[in-house]
Structure 1
Amino acid sequence: MTLKNKIIGSKKAIENFQFVTINGKVIFHDKERITRIARAYSQVVKSAINPLLEGKSIEELTKDLYSILPNYIYLETALKQANTIVEELLDKEDEKGEIIHAKIKRFWFASRGNKSDRGNRNVKFHVMDDHVLVKVKDPWGKWIVGKAYFGKEYLSLLKELEELANRKEEGYGAMITFKHYPMIHLQVPLWLYLKHFSTQKPSGYGLVAGFDLNGDRLNVVVVDRQGKIITFKTWWYTEAVSHGYSKEEVEALRFNALSQSLKFLVRIGVDYVVFEDLFVIKRRKFTKSRKGNRKISKFAKKQMLIHGVIKALRLGFNVILINPRGTTNSEEHERLMRERGFDRHTASAYLIALKGLGMINDIK
């Protein structure tokens, strides 16, 4: 186990929280050329999925698809995204063992970061007084110039990232999307983001809070250093699983519950918050209910986890990521529900808190 950026967990768990994505609207002077990159990039992703499912290697596909997108960094990034989609498809096999096919309708493009390339080989930026000048590499021609508009609160952060990139000390990933209008998404190093946006909470009493994240509710159980329950609480957002709410509205409901819960934990003196490391879960457990399966597939639990971890770090908590094995289906879980009268989600939150406490004790 290791402690880095106030995160306690396995090395693999911590690797998933090295960057924070910030978003800005971008206006390009040459829409046709920027759209051409996106269409080629998306075509590479689509073209790579079936061959990857059949076992073809990324190295082979790099040679096969270079004619579609003649830029190694773009191509490498696209193939890695295609491989991620393939892994998710394999994880989402339905109860009959059949692979659910991907439907990719949108188009976008991305370029991985590298500090040796002064941040990013294909996407450069320069911070101005009220906007950010963006330059995008065209595989078939010269650089494409645009203006990006982030919130003013991000400009000092981006200025420092630009300086670090120019000194070859930090890299940043970049993505351009086109859902309603062009957007640029920059991956900022977590430590730099926290430097600019963290607030220091008062020292607590060493209390540990376990979180159980669900589609319609958030359960939290707080324990002391001996594992005794101090309090437990549920934040409901049942509207999130009802019809008539957009993805953005549902996301806002869940994120608001996380924010409210963390503010509550600041007031009662919690120092450690514990989440399940969802990145170690390989397969989703589907039910016999089609309605239930839809809820499982639509609930972006990892996205909620990422938001919770970043928000907790910003507020000054230590974050612990535990292996979820045994926190939902186990003899101990059933015993807690039976003996303490807990519902399934409160029992899970309690076990998550105890696992986090055990990791703290192992480190000391």
Structure 2
Amino acid sequence: MFRSIAYGIVPNRRYADGVVTLVMGVYESCRALGVDFRGVELGDWLMFQQSELEYPNRNITLKSNHEFHITTNRYDGSIGRVVIKPTIPKIYKALLDATITEHVEYMGRVVIDGVGVRNNRLWIHGEVHMTVPLDVYYEHMVRYRRNNGKLIGGVDVNTDRINLAIINDDGELIDHRTFWFSEVTTRGFPRHKAWSIIGMRIHELLDYAYRHGVKTLFLENPEVLGRLKLVWIKRGDRGHENYNHKVMVFRSSIIEKIALKAPLYSIEVKYVSPRGTTNSEEHDELMRKYRLDRHTASAYLTALRGLITNGNKHYE
């Protein structure tokens, strides 16, 4: 039923299916998180999406010169093609070239995040997103192919920072560091810019862990790994009934990004239960013993739990 309605508005099978897939994903995420679907507000303006892997992608076609030829369906029923050449970060050019030369199937979508009038001419600003198989991404984006480290890392994720604790096989604290992004929690801070900053902190975290001998990184396993990415945390919003859900989704999104990027540094990721990592006698004891702040102690406890989970005999 939804597909027929979408197709009636956009007479393009791939775009219509993309709309249904997107909305269904949001609906299922709301059910998993207990969020009222009717209260969800969209963020950036999603213009076009094709939700099936295809090479070449017929609606959002990547060309050898890194241009994208995008199919548009006009109100009068006619079909056109818009050619755009977005700014491509240097690190992604090799992946785009591999997509073309290896005929990698991919999905595409166009997101509009700004529109206005300048000198009596309409302008829009946005991004082109591509989804490729994960093994292709790792093959062409990896930064360190070998990891000879032997240490263990624990991570604690919060709304304004990521804390890393590094331990050895005996459970001794070797090093710890905090990666801040507190500016992104300011009310009205642009979401796209916020995730850009968070992404940089994640790479700094993983690079630091790799250079300090971390082979395995343990993360808290959220009780609900919701994939709803349409909410954002604003300082002072704690009175909102969905605040806890927003915090959980935000932290889960960062954890997912760390897990996604870690293989680029040849770091293995594993999960431990988050229960008691922030409020427990063991947590408070670690704070007093090592004079750690609450979040660093949580990262340390996460690493210790990972050590125990792996069956290490040295730590008691």
Q: TM-score, normalised by structure 2?
A: 0.73
Q: How does 1:166-185 map to 2 (within 5 A)?
A: 170-180=104-114, 181-185=125-129
The alignment status of 1:251 with 2:195, answered yes or no, reads: yes
Residue deviations 1:244-269 (CA, integer Å, cap 9, x gap): 64334543443343333333323321
The alignment status of 1:305 with 2:243, answered yes or no, reads: no
In structure 2, what is the equivalent of residue 76 of structure 1?
A: 17
**Relative to 1, partners in 2 of residues 1:351 and 1:282: Cα closer, same or farther, differing over 3 Å?**
farther
Match of 1:326 among 271, 275, 278: 275
The alignment status of 1:136 with 2:66, answered yes or no, reads: no
**Relative to 1, partners in 2 of residues 1:283 and 1:327: Cα closer, same or farther, differing over 3 Å?**
farther
Q: Pick the structure with more helix per residue.
A: 1
In structure 2, what is the equivalent of residue 345 of structure 1?
A: 295
Paired AA for residue 185 in structure 2: V
Cα drift, residue 185 of structure 1? 0.9
Q: Pick the structure with more strand per residue.
A: 2
Contact 1:112 1:120 (8 Å CA) reproduced: no
In structure 2, what is the equivalent of residue 208 of structure 1?
A: 152
Residue deviations 1:159-215 (CA, integer Å, cap 9, x gap): 2212333xxxx4211001221214211113333233333222764442111111111
Residue deviations 1:1-39 (CA, integer Å, cap 9, x gap): xxxxxxxxxxxxxxxxxxxxxxxxxxxxxxxxxxxxxxx
Cα RMSD of the aligned pairs, angstroms, is: 3.8
In structure 2, what is the equivalent of residue 12 of structure 1?
A: none
Gaps of 5+ in 1: 1-59
Paired AA for residue 326 in structure 1: R
SS of residue in 2 equivalent to 1:179: strand
**Relative to 1, partners in 2 of residues 1:325 and 1:235: Cα closer, same or farther, differing over 3 Å?**
closer
The alignment status of 1:101 with 2:39, answered yes or no, reads: yes
Separation of aligned partners in 1, 2:295 and 2:250: 17
Contact 1:327 1:352 (8 Å CA) reproduced: no
Paired AA for residue 7 in structure 2: Y
**Relative to 1, partners in 2 of residues 1:125 and 1:259: Cα closer, same or farther, differing over 3 Å?**
closer
Paired AA for residue 275 in structure 2: G
Contact 2:6 2:19 (8 Å CA) reproduced: no
- Identical aligned pairs, as a percentage? 22
Contact 2:33 2:224 (8 Å CA) reproduced: no
Gaps of 5+ in 2: 115-124, 229-236
Q: How does 1:1-364 map to 2 (within 5 A)?
A: 60-93=1-34, 101-104=39-42, 106-114=45-53, 117-128=54-65, 131-136=66-71, 138=73, 140-142=77-79, 144-149=81-86, 150-165=88-103, 170-180=104-114, 181-200=125-144, 203-243=147-187, 245-278=189-222, 280-281=224-225, 289-290=238-239, 294=243, 297=246, 300-320=250-270, 322=271, 324-326=273-275, 328=277, 334-341=280-287, 343-357=293-307
Paired AA for residue 340 in structure 1: L
Separation of aligned partners in 1, 2:241 and 2:153: 28
Paired AA for residue 90 in structure 1: R
Paired AA for residue 76 in structure 1: D
SS of residue in 2 equivalent to 1:83: helix
Residue deviations 1:307-358 (CA, integer Å, cap 9, x gap): 42344322332233x25452547xxx50212322255433432343244445
- How many residues get paired? 287
**Relative to 1, partners in 2 of residues 1:174 and 1:289: Cα closer, same or farther, differing over 3 Å?**
closer
**Relative to 1, partners in 2 of residues 1:279 and 1:268: Cα closer, same or farther, differing over 3 Å?**
same
SS of residue in 2 equivalent to 1:127: coil
Deviates further, 296-305 or 216-225:
296-305
SS of residue in 1 equivalent to 2:11: coil
Residue deviations 1:29-67 (CA, integer Å, cap 9, x gap): xxxxxxxxxxxxxxxxxxxxxxxxxxxxxxx32244432
**Relative to 1, partners in 2 of residues 1:163 and 1:219: Cα closer, same or farther, differing over 3 Å?**
same
Contact 1:89 1:100 (8 Å CA) reproduced: no
SS of residue in 1 equivalent to 2:85: strand
Deviates further, 134-143 or 268-277:
134-143
Contact 2:149 2:210 (8 Å CA) reproduced: no
